[in-house]
Structure 1
Amino acid sequence: MVTSDQIVCPSQFVALIRAKSHGHGTGYISRRIVAASLAAGHPTFVLLRPEIGLDIDKLQILLAFKAQGARLLEASLDDHDGLVAAIRQVDVVVSAMSGAHIRSHNLMLQIKLVEAIKQGGNIKRFLPSEFGRDPSRMGNALEPGRVTFDEKMEIRRAIENANIPHTYVSANCFAAYFSPNLCQMKTLLPPKERVGVYGDGNVKVFFVDEDDVGTYTIKSIDDPRTLNKTIYIRPQDNCLTQNELIAMWEKLSGKSLTKFHIHGDEFLASMKDTDFAHQVGVTHFYHIFYEGCLTNFDIGDNGAEATLLYPDVQYTRINEVLKRYL
């Protein structure tokens, strides 16, 4: 999730959502997973934490889930016994938490979730909070951004040491965060006159619509082909270079943008004297748009590609996403 919302989902189906956020918007990915679960006909449970306090927006989201047929379970991630009791009502758990906010306290909460799942002993599949790049392939990531991958690997080790059946989901670049802005930082809207191009702009990137992330995630929870593996959501029609993305927008909008190229060293130097969150963002962008970390490897035997596993899913093309901004 692109906040610290917590989801838990199952095939008898659970979605436990932690209704507390420090970030971009409650339930950014989790609400899509819940919607996909309900659409697939799974009994869906959503965790209502007492820490929700007076946050009316988050409460309204949870009540909307309830109106659609989800069941709200009251429990706290800080209450081990209560969390175990909630987990024993489901058979799949999905955790969705923003990578930007997974550090420190939230890492501890995810470890607590793993411990509760281990004690419960009934979970057939656990999908931890990933949904971005595969952290196992980011061992050489730059500081300070590597903290995201190091802590996700710590959670993976806890899962595997506890022998919990699992699936990891790598969803690459969320379409709404990376495509309308033509991959520019600090904005979600299309540039009006000028656009920064990373290097030569020819590095391939996978862009994935967020609703499709929810659909593919739910497809995977009962699939024996995804057990103890990583699924990569890699829609081939959405494998684009930044130059191709810019050209697509220019064609749709009928407007030409002035391009200026940013050398890799110059881009990394832009971290100087900025806050920690920006520094993390710069290093992540560097790995994606300069090194090609999303496309420079073969999946191999320990993974599977979602669009090949589920060819029936009609995923959203990026030109359809861009049209929303015309």
Structure 2
Amino acid sequence: MAREAEVSRILVFGGTGYIGKHIVRASISLGHPTCIYARPTGPQTGPSNLNLRLEFRSVGINIIEGELEEHEKIVAALKQVDIVISALAYPQVLDQLKIIDAIIAAGNIKRFVPSDFGSEEDKITPLPPFEEFLEKKRKIRRAIEAASIPFTFITANCFAAYFVNLLLHPHNPHDEIVVYGDGEANAVLNYEEDIGKYTIKVANDPRACNRVVTYRPKSNIISQHQLISLWEEKTGRSFKRVCVPEEDLVKLSQTLPPPENIPVSILHSIFVKGDLMSYEIKEDDLEASRMYPEMQFTTIDQLLDIFLTDPPEPARAAFE
């Protein structure tokens, strides 16, 4: 019983979303009493979301249905947990201010992990559409700091399965693969299941309190050309590499209407500028694979094997 008393109770906002479901599954697998705050179901709720809720309820996850405007309901939910993790999609980034207000009112939360899970917004300056989005994330970070809420900010870099689908289109029998820029910039691709596991670990780790944790294992640093070559080696096929020049992406970022201009700006940041690798991880910085050497990130090589043997379904846009 003493051990149970030490296990943190976790509430996840956006727990039925793209990365949220992996965080929820990891929380349960690591033994944490877990609940989700999610929108009520309705005619617009898709079958996959409904099935996910059935899966979660079957393993004892409490799903609290409510809107982010329901302050008192959120406060009541927060009073029953220790750690709050937000996995809200980017259109809802500023809605996290409502979560912050509720955390202040509840007064008992030991750690808040806001919805970052991407680029390190305090260290890069991408094209204006992506920069505008990152500025919203910075606003959330600064609000958390100003409220003196114990936090962990996570820089998870790329969702690997999503970007493998985007870059390689492994489900489709074609002979062309698009390369953004010169294809030489290094990116960091981390498997979504791993992001879920490490997020639960760092949310409970005293070392990560009021710190930024970056997920940058050496085995997951790869360029587009290296990724394509590895895929060619595994499939025994050869692909024509069709390059999209940097100036084309810049022009699209300037001419496409919002929010369509954001994904091309993200592609430019990651695969042309190499923003994910543009800064050094210093000795006193927190990096997940160094923090937990006993755990192993899924390597890019292993991820491509997964696509060959049991391919994940193409993800809906992680930018939604």
How far off is 1:204 after superposition? 1.0
Aligned residues: 301
Deviations along 1:247-278, whole A, 9 cap, x unmatched? Answer: 00010111111123333113322446534233
How far off is 1:311 after superposition? 1.5
Alpha carbons of structure 1 residues 251 and 220: separation in structure 2 relative to 1, 3 Å: same
Instruction: Find 1:237's aligned residue among 182, 202, 219.
Output: 219
1:72 alignment partner AA: I
Instruction: Find 1:44's aligned residue among 34, 55, 76.
Output: 34
Structure 1 unaligned blocks of 5 or more: 1-9, 20-25
1:299 alignment partner AA: I
Give the structure 2 partner of residue 119 of structure 1: 105
TM-score with structure 2 setting the length? 0.87
The answer to whether the Cα contact below 8 Å between 1:234 and 1:307 also exists between their aligned partners in 2 is yes
The answer to whether the Cα contact below 8 Å between 1:77 and 1:113 also exists between their aligned partners in 2 is yes
1:195 alignment partner AA: I
Alignment of 1:214-293 (within 5 A): 214-271=196-253, 273-293=255-275
Alpha carbons of structure 1 residues 301 and 311: separation in structure 2 relative to 1, 3 Å: closer
Give the structure 1 partner of residue 144 of structure 2: 159
Q: Does residue 1:210 correspond to 2:223, yes or no?
A: no
Give the structure 2 partner of residue 23 of structure 1: none
Give the structure 2 partner of residue 30 of structure 1: 20
How far off is 1:292 after superposition? 1.0
The answer to whether the Cα contact below 8 Å between 1:180 and 1:321 also exists between their aligned partners in 2 is no
Computed over aligned residues only, the root mean square deviation of the Cα atoms, in angstroms, reads 2.2
Give the structure 1 partner of residue 134 of structure 2: 149
Alpha carbons of structure 1 residues 295 and 18: separation in structure 2 relative to 1, 3 Å: closer
1:145 alignment partner AA: F
**What stretches of structure 1 move > 6 A for 4+ residues in a row?**
none
Secondary structure class of the residue paired with 1:313:
coil
Q: Does residue 1:53 correspond to 2:42, yes or no?
A: yes
How far off is 1:202 after superposition? 1.5
After alignment, is 10-19 or 161-170 more displaced?
Answer: 10-19
Instruction: Find 1:176's aligned residue among 141, 161, 167.
Output: 161
Instruction: Find 2:11's aligned residue among 15, 24, 37.
Output: 15
CA–CA distance in 2 between the matches of 1:137 and 1:87? 31
CA–CA distance in 1 between the matches of 2:299 and 2:172? 17
Structure 2 unaligned blocks of 5 or more: 1-5, 309-320
1:149 alignment partner AA: L
2:227 alignment partner AA: L
The answer to whether the Cα contact below 8 Å between 2:12 and 2:20 also exists between their aligned partners in 1 is no
CA–CA distance in 1 between the matches of 2:271 and 2:171? 19
After alignment, is 207-216 or 57-66 more displaced?
Answer: 57-66
The answer to whether the Cα contact below 8 Å between 2:26 and 2:197 also exists between their aligned partners in 1 is yes
CA–CA distance in 2 between the matches of 1:268 and 1:77? 35
Alpha carbons of structure 1 residues 321 and 81: separation in structure 2 relative to 1, 3 Å: same
Percent identity for Structure 1 against Structure 2: 36
Secondary structure class of the residue paired with 2:302:
helix
How far off is 1:164 after superposition? 0.2
Q: Does residue 1:299 correspond to 2:252, yes or no?
A: no
TM-score with structure 1 setting the length? 0.85
Give the structure 2 partner of residue 136 of structure 1: 122
CA–CA distance in 1 between the matches of 2:284 and 2:101? 25
How far off is 1:188 after superposition? 7.1
The answer to whether the Cα contact below 8 Å between 2:112 and 2:150 also exists between their aligned partners in 1 is yes
CA–CA distance in 1 between the matches of 2:253 and 2:170? 20
The answer to whether the Cα contact below 8 Å between 2:129 and 2:253 also exists between their aligned partners in 1 is no
Instruction: Find 1:199's aligned residue among 181, 187, 194.
Output: 181
The answer to whether the Cα contact below 8 Å between 1:176 and 1:188 also exists between their aligned partners in 2 is no
Secondary structure class of the residue paired with 1:298:
coil
The answer to whether the Cα contact below 8 Å between 1:177 and 1:188 also exists between their aligned partners in 2 is no
Deviations along 1:170-190, whole A, 9 cap, x unmatched? Answer: 111111121244x36xx6746
